[in-house]
A and B are shown apart, each in its own frame.
Chain A
Amino acid sequence: MPTVPLATDDHAPESAPSITLVNRPDSGIALRLAGRWRLDQRIPRLSDLPALIDRGSDDDAKAASQPRELSFETSALIDWDSALVTYVAGVERLCAERNIHVDPSALPEGLRSLLEMASLTAPPDEPEHDRGPSFLARVGLDIADLVRSTGEIMAFFGEGAIAVRHFVAGRARYRRSELWVIIQESGADALPIVSLVSFLVGMILGYIGDQQLAQFGARIYVADLVGLATVIQMGALITGIVLAGRTGAAFAARIGTMQVNEEIDALRTFGIPPMEFLVLPRMVALILMTPLLTLYADLLGILGGAFVGTVVGGVTLTAYLVQTQAAIGWNHIIQGLISATVYGAIVAASGCLRGMQCGRSAAAVGEATTSAVVTAIVFIVIAAAVLTVIFDAIGLSG
């Protein structure tokens, strides 16, 4: 009786799982399972089995006819777990393809019932997401989505307007203590990062200006360049973007988590509009805090420029500051503050909007946060461009 061992490692220990094909006298074959068939062992590969079956029947005299029946021999089997179950299931599948009847009676009883249980779960009728929708359907769905989200944004701003009216009339339902906490979190707590970024941006502007203006011997004008750029736009822009990443994301995550926890539903059932209770204090806090932070960022930006102007450019600090003072007018500061107010409103609105739109899962909170930051930054840049044109048109930049 020829036996064909499957190629295994020569140095494998005695207990390594192995499989051997045995030709039975009655035109059938048997698989002799030996060793420890456990997940932490090197299990023989199922893809080698068809060759084994073919070779096994070739060697014998009755080569032409395929074996009709396959059984198992498990006397040498030491131990088994899911590794063997999936292997035997694979054997059954292979044999079904080749019209070989599988006789599982020699397998351990536990294994047989596991196999039976696994085969009871019928595969679903048809995978639902077999193919994505067609191009036209996708365009249609995207447009429907756009219409819906535009509607949501409109509803958000409509409710927001009502909330602001209540706020102005002093009837808005929010907690003052919470407003102060938000003001602290979005204002005072942002000082270190705003300091760092605006000082460094002031320095960068100073370096670029110094290199160019030195060619004309006009290094003192670095003060004009840094001062004007910072006060008119950079201070507000830096503050806006830092707040988008810091505070806007926090708003979206906070409100999104409340959405997941049904806390917003709880507010609604008590007749407390989330718009007044959650969104309004955040809008107010950022609209108040962004201009203040911007003033601070302006100062730090000018100091960064002054550092470069004095250390690299060799201008005295007094001369630098006097030059800056002469260059900057009130109109420039006002431009910066108006921009800052707009950016603050944008950051708060996108954070709160994305939070309110948040789905009801942890993943949705992550998406809402990302989306809040992206929305805020995109709209800040758009607003910066539009405001620049407007300021120019009304003669504020003169």
Chain B
Amino acid sequence: MNGPAAPDSKLPQGQTEPQAEVQAESQAVPQAMPQAEAQTPSDTQTQALASEDDQAPREDDASVAIRLEDVALGYGPTIVQQGLSFAIRRSDVFIIMGGSGCGKSTVMRALTGLLAPRQGQVFLQDQSLWEVSEEARTQLLRGVGVMYQSGALWSSMTLEENIALPLEQYTPLSKQQISELAEYKLALVGLAGFGGYYPGQISGGMRKRVGVARAMALDPDILFFDEPSAGLDPLSARRLDDLILELRDSLGTTMVVITHDLDSLFLIGDDAVFLDAETHSMLTTGHPKQLRDHSEIDEVRAFLRRGES
């Protein structure tokens, strides 16, 4: 498990491999790429912020998986976050961080098609998620998998059925094939043989792992994780972090992780956005370690250093 996970040395290595995959993907979908390149330079804020890190060269090649333009989010009369503009590069592990109650999960809801923004645009694979037709949105969201905080497994179904359901809905595969696929996804998260269990019969950490397996059911391009380490013991949390990295390295999946677990975000994060609860807006973006060491914003440094400055 600890092979590819040495945090500092793996950054450059880990990112060259997935990029090869991205290029292969872009050949398969040729019309998507020129658009992506045309729009990336116009996103000046990300460009400027990214050039502060040593990752600037990567920005030119890597296309953008998700882009937000001046997004405002809220429920009823309350504004949760506003003025959000950032981009998430393909095959990055992107961290959405911030204190409790700052709206991290709300941002995830907007990116996964559950909450329409008050204002602004969310681009998923260069299509505006909330301006396309509902069918097109469903289609776009098929490329997105979400692991919810508590796993959110459908409790009336076995683990295998949980993973099989999306496959039954969207693939022409036979029952036998689906069952094999479900078993394979369970094995990927280290739970081979648990297919017949119900969510109520397994532990919280296992439920989260099944949540990951289910999120990966349709081989999505983007995976979201809502607080993967919350409520887990240190070892389980670390295993989940390793799982995220291994999946990214082997599949080239873009990972968006919501967390305020510092150990975890320094270990896995390539890029991050910091959301602030006071101003209801983003304070900065950048590599988590760079932000910790060099950020000019006190709140961000304090957060990343656990209050020690």
Interface residues of A (CB under 8 A from B): 173, 175, 178, 257-258, 261-263, 265-272
Nearest opposing residue in chain A for B112, CB measure: A269
CB–CB A263/B149 < 8 A: no
Residues of A within 8 A of B218 (CB): 270
Tell me the smallest distance from the CB of B309 to a CB of chain A, in Å: 20
CB–CB A261/B169 < 8 A: no
CB–CB B146/A266 < 8 A: yes
Tell me the smallest distance from the CB of A189 to a CB of chain B, in Å: 16
Nearest opposing residue in chain A for B156, CB measure: A178
Asked whether any CB of chain A lies closer than 8 Å to the CB of B297, the reply is no
CB–CB A269/B150 < 8 A: no
Residues of A within 8 A of B138 (CB): 271
CB–CB B165/A265 < 8 A: no
Given known contacts A271-B138, A271-B142, is B148 in contact with A265 (CB within 8 Å)? yes
The CA-CA distance from A265 to B112 in the complex, in Å, is 9
Residues of A within 8 A of B142 (CB): 270-271
Tell me the smallest distance from the CB of A301 to a CB of chain B, in Å: 35
Residues of B within 8 A of A266 (CB): 146, 148, 152-154, 214
The CA-CA distance from A270 to B166 in the complex, in Å, is 6
CB–CB A269/B154 < 8 A: no
Nearest opposing residue in chain A for B138, CB measure: A271
Tell me the smallest distance from the CB of A105 to a CB of chain B, in Å: 31
Contact of A268 among B114, B153, B156, B170 (CB under 8 A): B114
The CA-CA distance from A233 to B276 in the complex, in Å, is 60
Contact of A271 among B155, B156, B169 (CB under 8 A): B169
Nearest opposing residue in chain B for A148, CB measure: B76
The CA-CA distance from A178 to B154 in the complex, in Å, is 12
Top 8 nearest A-B pairs (CB, nearest first) are A262-B152, A271-B138, A262-B148, A266-B152, A270-B166, A269-B146, A263-B152, A269-B112
Contact of B113 among A173, A175, A257, A269 (CB under 8 A): A269
Residues of B within 8 A of A258 (CB): 154-155
Asked whether any CB of chain A lies closer than 8 Å to the CB of B144, the reply is yes
Asked whether any CB of chain A lies closer than 8 Å to the CB of B187, the reply is no
Tell me whether chain B's interface is mostly helix, strand or loop, or mixed.
loop
Tell me whether chain A's interface is mostly helix, strand or loop, or mixed.
helix
CB–CB B169/A272 < 8 A: yes
Residues of A within 8 A of B144 (CB): 269
CB–CB B169/A269 < 8 A: no
Interface residue tally for chain B (C-beta within 8 Å): 24
Tell me the smallest distance from the CB of B225 to a CB of chain A, in Å: 13
Residues of B within 8 A of A270 (CB): 141-142, 165-166, 169, 218
Residues of B within 8 A of A261 (CB): 150, 152, 155
Per-residue A-contact encoding for B107-123, CB less than 8 Å = 1, 0 else:
00100111000000000
Tell me the smallest distance from the CB of A166 to a CB of chain B, in Å: 13
Given known contacts A268-B114, A269-B113, is B154 in contact with A173 (CB within 8 Å)? no
Residues of A within 8 A of B156 (CB): 178
Q: Which residues of B from 131 to 168 have beta carbons under 8 Å from A?
A: 138, 141-142, 144-146, 148-150, 152-156, 165-166
CB–CB A265/B152 < 8 A: yes
Given known contacts A270-B169, A272-B165, is B150 in contact with A262 (CB within 8 Å)? yes
Given known contacts A269-B113, A271-B138, is B154 in contact with A263 (CB within 8 Å)? yes
Tell me the smallest distance from the CB of A182 to a CB of chain B, in Å: 10
CB–CB B113/A268 < 8 A: yes
The CA-CA distance from A178 to B156 in the complex, in Å, is 9
CB–CB A173/B169 < 8 A: yes
Given known contacts A261-B155, A263-B155, is B150 in contact with A271 (CB within 8 Å)? no
Most B CB atoms within 10 A — which of A173, A178, A272? A272
Residues of B within 8 A of A271 (CB): 138, 141-142, 169-170
Tell me the smallest distance from the CB of B197 to a CB of chain A, in Å: 17
The CA-CA distance from A268 to B109 in the complex, in Å, is 11
Tell me the smallest distance from the CB of B68 to a CB of chain A, in Å: 18
Given known contacts A270-B166, A271-B142, A272-B169, is B149 in contact with A262 (CB within 8 Å)? yes
Q: Which residues of B from 193 to 250 have beta carbons under 8 Å from A?
A: 214, 218
Nearest opposing residue in chain A for B144, CB measure: A269
Residues of A within 8 A of B114 (CB): 265, 268-269
The CA-CA distance from A271 to B171 in the complex, in Å, is 13
Residues of A within 8 A of B150 (CB): 261-262
The CA-CA distance from A262 to B146 in the complex, in Å, is 11
Q: Which residues of B from 252 to 268 have beta carbons under 8 Å from A?
A: none
Most B CB atoms within 10 A — which of A261, A262, A267, A272? A262
Most B CB atoms within 10 A — which of A173, A178, A266, A267? A266
Most A CB atoms within 10 A — which of B109, B145, B156? B156
Residues of A within 8 A of B169 (CB): 173, 270-272
The CA-CA distance from A262 to B150 in the complex, in Å, is 8
Q: Which residues of B from 65 to 117 have beta carbons under 8 Å from A?
A: 109, 112-114
The CA-CA distance from A261 to B149 in the complex, in Å, is 9
Q: Can you give 23 contacting A-B residue pairs, CB < 8 Å?
A: A175-B165, A178-B156, A258-B155, A261-B150, A261-B155, A262-B148, A262-B149, A263-B153, A263-B155, A265-B148, A265-B152, A266-B148, A266-B154, A268-B113, A269-B112, A269-B141, A269-B146, A270-B165, A270-B166, A271-B141, A271-B142, A271-B170, A272-B166
